[in-house]
Chain A
Amino acid sequence: MNDVPIGAKVTPLYETFKNLNASFTEFGGYYMPVHISGIIAEHLAVRNQSGLFDISHMGEISLTGKDASKFLNYVSTNNIDKCADFGMQYQILCHDDGGAIDDMMAYKYNSESIYLVCNASNQDEVFNHLVKINETLKFDVKIVNEGERISAIAVQGPMALEQLKKVMDIKDLTFMTFEYDGKFIVSRSGYTGEDGFEIYGGHEDIIDLTHKLLKVGVIACGLGSRDTLRFEAGLPLYGHELTSYINPVQAGLSFAVDFDKETFIGKETLLKEKTNKPEKRVFGMILLDKGIARQGYDIYDGDKWVGYITSGFMIPGTKDSYANGLIDSSYKIGDEVEIEIRNKRVKARLRKKSYIKKNYAR
């Protein structure tokens, strides 16, 4: 049943998840596990205990050379100079018009060696974009696509550290920092709103670590719960809250844009957006009637179309239905709108787009 579709790649953990009877789907060019024990059980495992995700599909690109930081600061919105060595920084890669190519996590070894983790579906585009820019600008930087030789897992949840300690030597790192122990890159980070770690390494080492973690009781999780967890925590997903036509200012991600930098791709447009206020921006909302708002559903205020849904879920384990949507920025938190779901109108009230309190280790 789980035969890999033609053209799709699998990660080195495919067999492991297949043996757990996972349901698979094609995502970002990879045939990935969506759910194993069930999205609800997996979501709750991460909120209350610990869960493990295969994130080997993510793209890894290394930037090395004298100009590595200078290069990143030119192509991306954030300022890597403000990040300490062995620290991590959220970055957004934009086009000239401010539209996002991808969002990425930068792992900074030092100013001359930076490792970027980008979305699976965008990794080739990001790599080609970076290479092309440097063909003209000729910064002293070597850009290497490392994705094929690296496997990775995320271990997330309040029991993540305790469980990892049973199977490996792990430090109680500060949130958004990492270390390299000669075998694994280990960071205190994740995409769930919970405490947790992301671990990168060679294929065999990651497979071995995964089996050990599953053996001590960490719950195998798929992309389904990865999506509900990031949504509940108010974290954007490229292709939903951030796209080539939803820029970082509209997405409410200005915290990752350093307008004080002299120049960077997209600065002019984004600065205009920031100064004049964008026409539309991404809001959170709670549905006041029964229903679930899915990506693409239209949002109205009476007869007037005011925007559309970017993501929406009934939070696993609850009856609470929330959604994010791109809406005219004349609206404000507390305002009521209507979402059209299968030709029926469902009322929703605008609110902030984070639906739990994050539980990071500080």
Chain B
Amino acid sequence: MRYYTKTDEWVKVEGDKATIGLSTHAVEELGDIVFIDLPSVGDKFDKGEAFGAVESVKAASDIYMPIGGTVVAINEALNDSPELLNQNPLEQYLIEIEGFDVSELADLKKE
């Protein structure tokens, strides 16, 4: 199950790992995505903190942590082909995290 933030990120928890991505609505609003600025593996962020940015042709938008955690993987495919995010925003995660607290999901909207 995905949980959504008010700023249009989603988080999907599977065991002790969680993936974070952008909602279909957010991606449609952005239009053509040309660059995604992702953090490095090992970076740690709190819930609500900006962890990167997604850039359409026109503008850069910060992306925020739905829940806090430590980055254990980034979706490398998006570095070379950010347009994959336009094609299928729910299949393309941005980062994978560990070390989160599931109670932080409480204020998010279930899909």
A residues contacting B by CB (< 8 A) are 23, 34-35, 38-40, 43, 224, 227-228, 290-292, 294, 313-314, 316, 341-342
**B35 contacts A by Cβ under 8 Å:** yes
A341-B35 Cα distance, complex, nearest whole Å:
13
Please determine whether B31 and A34 come into contact, CB atoms closer than 8 angstroms.
yes
Choose from A290, A291, A316, A342 the contact partner of B32 (Cβ within 8 Å). A316
- From the candidates A23, A290, A291, A294, name the one contacting B31 in the complex (CB within 8 A): A23
- Which residues of A sit under 8 angstroms from B58, Cβ to Cβ? 34, 39, 224, 227
Q: Which of B29, B32, B37, B60 contacts A38 (CB 8 A)?
A: B32
B73 at the interface (CB under 8 A from A): no
- Find chain B residues with CB under 8 A from A291 CB: 35, 37
- A23, A228, A290: the one contacting B57 at CB < 8 Å is A228
Contact status B57-A313, CB under 8 Å: yes
Beta-carbon nearest neighbor of A290 in chain B: B35
CB distance from A24 to the nearest CB of B (A): 11
Q: Which residues of A contact B60 (CB under 8 A)?
A: 292, 294, 342
Q: Is B8 an interface residue (CB 8 A)?
A: no
Q: Which residues of B contact A294 (CB under 8 A)?
A: 59-60
Q: Is B105 in the interface zone, CB < 8 Å from A?
A: no
Q: 8 shortest A-B CB distances, which residue pairs?
A: A39-B57, A40-B32, A314-B34, A38-B32, A35-B31, A292-B55, A39-B32, A224-B58
Least Cβ–Cβ distance between A32 and chain B, in angstroms: 13
Please give the distance in Å from B55's CB to the nearest CB on chain A. Answer: 5
Number of A-B contacts (CB under 8 A): 44
Smallest Cβ-Cβ distance to B31: which chain A residue: A35
CA distance A341 to B52 in the complex (A): 11
Q: A51–B58 Cα gap in the complex (Å)?
A: 19
Known: A23-B29, A342-B37. 14 other contacts (CB 8 A): A34-B31, A38-B32, A39-B31, A39-B32, A39-B56, A40-B32, A40-B34, A224-B57, A290-B35, A291-B35, A314-B35, A314-B57, A316-B32, A341-B37
The contact string, 1 if C-beta is below 8 Å from chain A, for chain B 46-73, is: 0000000101111110100000000000
B72 to chain A, nearest CB (A): 22
Report 9 cross-chain contacts, Cβ distance below 8 Å, ordered by A residue. A34-B58, A40-B57, A224-B58, A292-B34, A292-B60, A313-B57, A314-B34, A342-B37, A342-B62
For the complex, count residues of B whose C-beta is within 8 A of A. Answer: 14
Complex: A294 Cα to B60 Cα, angstroms: 8
Measured CB to CB, the nearest residue on chain A to B53 is A342
Chain A residues with CB under 8 Å of B62's CB are 342
Max count, chain A CB within 10 A of own CB: residue among B31, B37, B57? B57
What are the residues of chain A within 8 A of B35 when measuring CB–CB? 290-292, 314
* Cβ contacts under 8 Å, B55 to chain A: 292, 314
Kindly state the separation between the CA atoms of A338 and B29 in the bound complex, as whole angstroms: 31
**Would you give the shortest CB distance from A276 to chain B, in whole angstroms?**
37
Q: Among the interface residues B34, B37, B55, which one has the most CB atoms of the partner chain A within 10 A?
A: B34
Closest A residue, CB atoms, query B37: A342
Distance (whole angstroms) from the CB of B40 to the closest CB of chain A: 11
Per the bound structure, the CA–CA distance linking A40 and B58 in Å amounts to 11
Interface residues of B in 27-48 (CB under 8 A from A): 29, 31-32, 34-35, 37
**Of all chain B residues, which has the CB nearest A25?**
B58
Give the residue name and chain of the A residue nearest to B56 (CB).
A39
What are the interface flags for B75-102 relative to A under an 8 Å C-beta threshold, 1 for contact and 0 otherwise? 0000000000000000000000000000
